[in-house]
Chain A
Amino acid sequence: MPNFNFRPLWRYEDQFIDGVLTTLLLTVSATAIGLVIGIIGAVVLRSGPKSARIGVRAYIEIIRNTPALLQIFIIFFVLPTIGLKFSPIQASIVALSIYFGAYASEILRSGLSSIPPSQIEAGLCLGLTRWQVLSRIVLPPAIRNIYPSITSQFVLLLLGTSIASQVSADELFHAAGFIDSRTYRSFEVYALTCGIYFTLVVFFKIVFALVGRAVFRWPTRR
C-alpha cells in the first residue's frame, strides 16, 4: 500500500484555482460563441440557400468527424504560417467554439424541426409576425426538447477543454501536469484533479436540472 500524501499539494492551491478559472473561462466562452454559431447554422440548415446549407453541412461533418485535438493544433500551429497568430487561450477558445458550434448547429436544427409546422401555421393564422411565431411559439418547446442534449454537450465541452493543455493554455489539466512535475505526487495530483472535474460537472448538472424544472413547467404527453 503506497503512502498517500496530499499535503505537498497545498502550496499549489493558487495554481489549481487559476486552472479551474481558466477551464471555466474556456467552457463559458466556447459555449457562448458556439451557441451563436449554432443558431446561425441551424437557421441556415432550415431555410438558407442551397449553397449555404451545403457549406454548413460540410462544417458540421468535418468538425464532428475529426479529432478535436487536431483542430486545436491546426488553429494554434498551422494558422500562424498564414499570419493568424493566437495566444494559447485565444486559440483554445476559437477551436472549442468551432467544435461546440458544430454540435450546437445540429442539436438546434433538430430542436426547430421537432416542432410541427402546424404550430407555425396556427401562429401565422392569428396574424403574428414570423419573429413572434419563432420566439413565442416555436422556441420554448424546441428548447425544452433539446435541453437534455445541449446540456450534455456542455458537459462534454467542459471535460474537453482539457485538450487546451496541449497548446499550453494553463487550464486545470495543464496546471495538474505542472504541479505533478514539481511534486512527483502523480496519484494525489491526478486524483484531486479528477475530483475537481467531477465536482464541476455535478455542480452544473444540478444547476441545469433545477433550471430545467423551474422553466419547463408545462405538462407533456408520454
Chain B
Amino acid sequence: MALVEIKNVRKNYGPLEVLKGVSLDVEKGEIVTIIGRSGSGKSTLLRCINALETINSGEILLEGQSVSTSMDGLRQMRQKVGIVFQAFNLFPHMTIEKNVTLAPILTGKTDKRGAKELAFSVLERVGLADKLNAYPEQLSGGQQQRVAIARCLAMSPHLMLFDEVTSALDPELVGEVLKVMEGMAAQGMTMVLVTHEMNFARNVATKLVFMHQGRVWEQGDPKTLFANPQTPELKSFIGHHAR
C-alpha cells in the first residue's frame, strides 16, 4: 500500500478545472518532485493532499484512509503531514522555540518539559539550535524557512510537502535550505515537493512528476526522464530550465 494514493482527482475553481483527473502514488520513503509550468496545478495538488482544498471528484488516501471530512479527522491527518510554503509563515509573536513547540504541546505530543528538548533536537537538525530565543523577524529568509521545516519535524510527520520553499529566497540562501531537505531525504522521510530546483529534482528525487494543464503529463525515474523526455511539452520545459 502506498503512503499516498491519489486517484483520478478533479478540482475546479468555479468554471475553471485546475486538476483534470490526477492519479499518483507516493510510496513510503519516496522523494517525489513535481515540476511544471506556472498554473499547471502543482500547488493545488499539494494543497489537496492535506485537504486545504476540497476535491470535486476522485479520492485521496493517506496510509489507506480516505481523508476525513470531520474537523477531528482532518486535524489528526494534518498532525501526520507537514507542509512548508514559499512564504515561511512563522508566527511573528513567538520565539523560535515557541514556534516549534506550539503544536506538539497543544496536541499533547509532548509536555512542557519535554518541549524544550524537542525544540533543541529539531532545531539542531536544521542547524539553528542557537536561535531558540530569537524571533522570526530577527532571522534571514533561509533561517526562517529552516525553522518552518523544524516546526513540521517537531510533529514527527509521516509525510512532508514542500511548495516552492526556496523560491522566495535570495540565491545565496537557497543552498542551506536544500541541504536540510537533502538531509531529511537521506534519513528516509517521505517527501513531495514542488520545485524549480532542477538539480534537486534530478539528483535527490526518486520520482519526477511533470504536470501540464492540470494533468500528470509524464512521470518516472528522474534521470531517465531528464535524459529522455517522452513528450514535447516536457522536452521544452527541461530546455527552458536546464542550466
Interface residues of A (CB under 8 A from B): 118-119, 121-122, 124-130, 132, 136-137, 140-141, 144, 216, 218-221
Contacts and interface: CB of A to CB of B under 8 A. Distances in A.
A219 B138 contact: yes
Contacts of A119: 89, 91
A103 to B, nearest CB: 25
A127 B103 contact: yes
* A contacts with B: majority SS: helix
Of A127, A137, A216, most buried by chain B (CB within 10 Å of CB) is: A127
B155 A126 contact: yes
Interface of B: 50, 52, 71, 75-79, 81-83, 85, 87, 89-94, 102-103, 106-107, 135, 137-138, 151-152, 155
B107 A218 contact: no
A111 B81 CA distance: 30
Contact of A128 (B81, B106, B137): B106
B138 A128 contact: no
12 contacts: A118-B85, A119-B89, A121-B52, A122-B90, A125-B82, A127-B103, A128-B106, A129-B75, A130-B71, A137-B91, A218-B94, A219-B137
B137 A127 contact: no
Given A218-B135, A218-B137, A221-B137, A126 B103 contact: yes
B89 A219 contact: no
Contacts of A137: 91
Contacts of A125: 50, 52, 78, 81-83
Nearest to B103: A126
Nearest 10 pairs between A and B by C-beta?
Answer: A127-B79, A126-B103, A122-B89, A127-B78, A219-B137, A218-B93, A140-B93, A127-B75, A125-B83, A218-B135
A75 B191 CA distance: 64
B75 A128 contact: yes
Contacts of B71: 129-130
A218 B52 contact: no
Contacts of B107: 126-128
B93 A141 contact: yes
